[in-house]
Amino acid sequence: MEQGVAGGIDSYIKEQFAIPEVDIRTYSPLALAYIGDGVYDLVIRSIVVARGNTRAGELHRRTSRIVRAQAQAQMIDVLLPRLTEEEREVYRRGRNAKSPTMAKNATMLDYRKATGFEALMGWLYLRDEFARVVELIRQGAEELKLRL
């Protein structure tokens, strides 16, 4: 990875904070979704800010329409055919996880799909496959014609 971060962002963070490696297969789908939510949000925020420095409220508005559950559900719908079997399995585990909460303004189906999408993003991130995270987000955004 560029600028001295060998092995990926997650590995670098673990190294800097002396966190031992953990087999990510032991993480629950909701733990993967938790980190994946932040990863996806960071990518979208990075794109939105790079497209034009403006008021924080406007940046938030642009970001919110893309990171909400309904938009994530649409994104995974177009990405599913492009996923590897292993990636599809991670998505399915996340989608089928029983969450104690639900997003506001989202159907249960959209919320479950979004949770699966976030689990996939988290799993890829923890595997130091950030390039794949960005590739999938780019492909999904292009297919959905999202204005990022």
Question: Looking at residue 91, what is its pLDDT?
Answer: 98
Question: Looking at residue 100, what is its pLDDT?
Answer: 77
Question: Could you confirm whether 77 is annotated as catalytic?
Answer: no
Least confident of 55-69, 71-85, 121-135: 55-69
Q: Which CATH number fits domain 28-144: 3.90.650.10, 1.10.1520.10, 2.60.40.10, 3.30.420.10?
A: 1.10.1520.10
User: What average pLDDT does this structure show over 83-91?
Assistant: 98
User: What average pLDDT does this structure show over 6-10?
Assistant: 76
User: 10 Å Cβ neighbour count for 102?
Assistant: 13
Catalytic one among 37, 77, 110, 128? Answer: 37
Question: Looking at residue 2, what is its pLDDT?
Answer: 45
